[in-house]
Structure 1
């Protein structure tokens, strides 16, 4: 039996995990919890503001990304304008803070703060509701990507109030300066009124991307939540990739200094350990990209649900995941060859040094032998004279 057919059917997983959620009964957490104190000065979105994926800092890894502006030919401008004027534009914020999250520990930490999370996808995603300025928002925690996603909160609110709660559940955590984020605008359709025929036909096939805007079909709340999970996985894939891009960029800047010194004929005093460590870091980045994560492939859990697989692939295409992976692998190839070249130069230098030591030892040995021969010759000469 193939793996595809051996898996638990997605629809069974979906409804087993969501039956206890009771989407209509949104649980309001005690306002005394510090992470639920609404800050009225924080604005989640603006109807007229366009946001594009960005980093929490000015990150060199952004040079590996192509511009994710408007995609041509997807929908006409008139329809986009109608959607923006009819529905409220909100922000989907994703922050990657670690390599992975321990969901069991994360659930315990959330419950300590009065939040009861729901397992949306077993061992993969947990979610809970949060009321912000009178509106419900969905917060999701992705285990394999080490990411937290909010559907309706801005980056600052998510970073200040929710990331600290889950800090102890992180596996291989990142320094705060190395967090990676994406902000993408979205519209949530919760009823079919005022829908154009074109939009209605698109929503019939599930949520989709219109230009640089995510359109979430939440007419069926359960399906809408699953669509958000698929979008979240795709966007978190981008931030996880950005973490590796930033790590490689940092390594490249350090190795560039050594290369420039070589080009100017400056001697460097580096040991073999330094280059072996450098090669090890490169292999670790390559492993996290190609072996230890699902960045390069579609997760198995989407195989039995084409609707979600389509969303996942579309958002991955929107964020240029495939070309960024190819560029990153190409740069890793070059950096690995560069480090190996420097190591070979160091080994050759060490080999040359050892050769000269051997030459000196042979020279000393020859000198000793010549001295012994001279002493022996003098002794034999004296014996003959006697």
Structure 2
């Protein structure tokens, strides 16, 4: 309880810090799988907003000075808020079939391939983009979760493989700088400033590629949240058996039910460690170190590695728990078989005693004659 209480206090502090837009400090929060009674963490954007067009004429140097300034007055804070927009990641399924997606959407939208077989981009407006990831995630730049799910998702719903009934989303603030000062930060490459994504560059294609790297990194959080929720459901199911054992009572679950849960736990572990790139660095970043920095920075601020480690430990416990339950049922079955064998032996002994009695009576009758 103390761990979750400290996590909630930490999140409240960070929320207040973001609302005041003080100098962001790149720290990580307490890494724990979210219980159902604690709201899902929203990084950065706590209120929906888009960059105000009337501030677009301000110089990039002035915007950067606002971004990096330690102390801001109310006017400067509002000015910086006017430049910040949101990027929203929504995981809707296990994966997306790009062939079906193109067939369904090419007549409605202008589709552009950013990363072959991994990321496609739809230009919604000059300031809004929807990136479709093959891992089953939609990332909207200057789009809210409601807009993504209600306005755009129905247009290519048939291309989603293993669609989820409940979606997971994550939001974070971002800002786009199309012009750079004479000595740009990070050599003109996009970067993560505290909890704000800064996409910068003179080349549109380069900015889109940087946005794709941010999108893939952000999608790890929502995909991991789906697995975390599934694991919490399993732990809720198995808790009843643990409580029954602690009271010295018999387990009511059957062997078939326990084997089914064990199989689903192994499948969940496979989705986390084997059948996805949640624990691996995508192949694209082996040859693009700048994009790898973007990907790793987003993963770090969202506590991806810590959450994966904790989830693996919980899976270890859940799997061992199911094995213990199966062992109890096997012992119960073995005891039943032993009693059946004892009963059969007793019946056999009874028959032998009866045969012995018959022979004894027959022998006595013969002797009397």
**TM class, shorter-length:** 0.7 to 0.9
| Equivalent residue, structure 2, for 1:163 | 153
TM-score scaled by length of structure 1: 0.76
Give the structure 1 partner of residue 119 of structure 2.
125
Q: Where do 1:269-284 residues align within 5 Å?
A: 269-284=252-267
1:60 equivalent to 2:35? Answer: yes
* Conservation of the 8 A alpha-carbon contact between 1:64 and 1:245: no
- TM-score by length of structure 2 reads 0.80
Tell me the secondary structure at the aligned position of residue 97 of structure 1. Answer: strand
CA distance change for structure 1 residues 289 and 64 in 2, over 3 Å: closer, same or farther?
A: farther
Q: Is the 8 A contact 2:87 2:173 kept in 1?
A: yes
Matched, 1:100 2:95: yes
Contact 2:92/2:136 (CA < 8 Å) preserved in 1?
yes
In structure 2, how many angstroms separate the alpha carbons of the residues matched to 1:373 and 1:205? 102
Instruction: Give the distance between the partners of 1:209 and 1:62, measured in 2 at CA.
Output: 30
Q: Residues 337, 311 of structure 1: CA spacing in aligned structure 2 closer, same or farther, 3 A cutoff?
A: same
Unmatched segments (≥5 aa) in structure 2: 1-17, 22-33, 46-66
1:312 aligns with 2:295: yes
Alignment CA distance shift 1:104-1:181 (3 Å): same
1:3 counterpart residue number: none
Number of aligned positions between the proteins = 317
Given the superposition, is the C-alpha separation of residues 287 and 61 from structure 1 closer, same or farther in structure 2, using an over 3 Å criterion? farther
The residue number in structure 2 matching 1:19 is none
Contact 2:188 2:200 in 1 (8 A): no
1:226 Cα deviation after fit = 0.5
Q: Distance in 2 between the 1:62 and 1:258 partners? A: 22
Equivalents in 1 of 2:349, 2:68: separation in Å? 88
Residues of 2 paired with 1:80 and 1:166: CA distance?
Answer: 46
Q: Distance in 1 between matches of 2:268 and 2:89?
A: 21
CA deviations on 1:127-152 (whole Å, 9 max, x unpaired) are: 11002xxx521110000x21001101
Among 201, 214, 221, the residue aligned to 2:185: 201
Query: Is 2:345 the counterpart of 1:362?
Result: yes
Deviations 1:297-343 (A, max 9, x none): 11011111111111001101111111111001000000000000000
Partner SS, residue 103 of structure 2: helix
Change (3 A) 1:240 1:138: same
Partner of 2:49: none
**Structure 1 residues 367 and 209: alpha-carbon distance in aligned structure 2, compared to 1, 3 A threshold:** same
Give the 3-state SS of the residue equivalent to 2:143 in structure 1. Answer: coil
The reply to whether residue 173 of structure 1 matches residue 163 of structure 2 is yes
What RMSD in Å do the two structures reach over aligned CA positions?
2.7
From the two aligned structures, give the one with the greater helix fraction. Answer: 2
Contact between 1:150 and 1:158, CA under 8 Å: does it hold in 2?
Answer: yes
In 2: Cα distance, 1:205 partner to 1:61 partner: 41
Q: Name the SS of the counterpart of 1:60 in structure 2.
A: coil
Residues 274/138 of structure 1: CA separation in 2 closer, same or farther (3 Å cut): same
5+ long unaligned stretches in structure 1: 1-46, 51-58
